[in-house]
Chain A
Amino acid sequence: MDDFTAAFATALALIAGLDRDLMAIVSLSLMVSMAAVSLAAVCGLPLGAAVAVCRFPGRDLVGALLNAMMGLPPVVVGLALYVLLSRAGPLGELGLLYTPTAMVLAQCVLVTPIIAALTRQTIADLHAEYDEQLRSLGVGPWQTIGTLLWDGRFSLLTALMAGFGRASAEVGAVIIVGGNINHVTRVMTTTIALETSKGNLPLALGLGIILLLLTFMLNAAAMAVGNMAKRAYG
């Protein structure tokens, strides 16, 4: 118990002192996850909106597939990307394995279905409300998607935040394609896993606290934005 208390105190000291290693890991984590969510937003928002608005054969199937893919096992995604990116794999020549770029790709694959599925739901609800009015005005299908994405912007922000939460908390996929190399591909989650198994509790605990705080702040921010939007736009 004393060991644990001491580790906890050291962890707080690391955070308070803005420990260089700790900060490097935190900032890499944030950059990787933000890049992944941005990329996933570029794919997932239009995809989700298109599935919500456009009528095509197999639309329900695509919707069900998106929902199912929200639960993709990260380890399997990591493994698949590993096979693709490894030297002998089809994308091996790019030399991306064990780089932050590979980690961005892995998180992006995990987050895109989440953003797309949540977008589909939000946009489908909005479309049900706007459909007749937009058709009456003569709004074309692409303009409709643009209009709905813009008018749903605050709800969609919540979808992006959910995606960021998933990306930053994920460990299985990034540890496989990133390799957890010190100062290169070591992010919060992989470091926690490694340092805990090594018995270096202070760093693991410090990162754990920061990860928790980030998640908490993110959700609080999402709620605040949602409430503000409801007050401001009804």
Chain B
Amino acid sequence: MKGNPVRSSHHHGVDQPATPTILPLALHEVCFEAAGRYLVDHISCVLEAQPYTVILGPNGAGKSLLLRLCHGLIRASSGSIRWHGMDVDAARRYQAMVFQRPVLLRRTVAANISYALRIHGVPRRQRPMLVGQALEQAGLGDLAGRPARLLSGGEQQRLALARAWVLKPQVLLLDEPTASLDPAATQAVETLLDQISKSGTKLIMTTHDLGQARRLADEVLFLHHGRLLEHGPAAEFFGRPKSKEAAAFLEGRLVW
């Protein structure tokens, strides 16, 4: 993928101009400052198109902020973030983001999906079929007519994922998507994430759950107090962490 500036789009099977690829993502000396403190502290890294990046670290390490900075929801105080040369605002339409607490519209399950399609300019006639497919893939086919906000926590998060996936994003950003779910719901979400990943979407996920990171990660970024302490293949990170903070975190000790 690297060095190939254009890839053809399979967006909804419609003939469309080729979509520019937005990977790799390059961060250079990115800082986010609030009240005189660096909550994200001079982070530089490059994320390639390989499948699964997990941003790991204790609560308050700056994981969510980093994700929001990359998605362009908040502005870096200094430094630069480029998606294959594109700025964060231009690149956002090739991404989707799912939040820790799913933000669902006060409408039916199906209407939540078709809303996203409408915003992305998918013609009205094509929407019902895509909505049906998306709900089937997420295992929500029977719930299409139900009010979205009355679903269980796990179903809500799967709906949020289905709504993100239906847009065929190149990159899906996930902010602790299972942090408030029980193990069964977490497993359903992880299964869905696996399907999304296999469909060719790159996943960048934050988590503080070590087990989840071990299960899913191809690549790990370890954050601590806003600083990027480690960045490497998952096997290497879990086998031989280089920093004492990561070692402590892996041993399950509380790190601050």
Contact = CB atoms under 8 A, between A and B. Distances in A.
B93 interface: yes
B149 A234 contact: yes
A234 B93 contact: no
B103 A138 contact: no
B119 A137 contact: yes
B139 interface: no
Main secondary structure of the interface of A (DSSP, over half): helix
B73 A151 contact: no
Interface in A113-141: 129-130, 132-133, 135-139
Nearest to A138: B93
A219 interface: no
B99 interface: yes
B7 interface: no
Contacts of A143: 119
A151 B106 contact: yes
Given A129-B103, A151-B107, A136 B97 contact: yes
Interface string B75-102: 0000000000000000011011101000
Contacts of B119: 137-139, 143
Given A233-B147, A234-B149, A137 B116 contact: yes
A233 B92 contact: no
Of the candidates A130, A133, A143, A232, the one having the most CB atoms from chain B within 10 angstroms of its own CB is A133
Given A130-B103, A151-B107, A233-B106, A136 B147 contact: no
Interface in A131-168: 132-133, 135-139, 143, 147, 151-152
B168 interface: no
A135 B73 contact: yes
B120 interface: yes
B105 interface: yes
Contact of B73 (A136, A139, A233): A136
Of the candidates B106, B107, B119, the one having the most CB atoms from chain A within 10 angstroms of its own CB is B106
Contact of A136 (B92, B148, B150): B92
B105 to A, nearest CB: 6
Interface of B: 68, 71, 73, 92-93, 95-97, 99, 103, 105-107, 115-116, 119-120, 147-150, 167
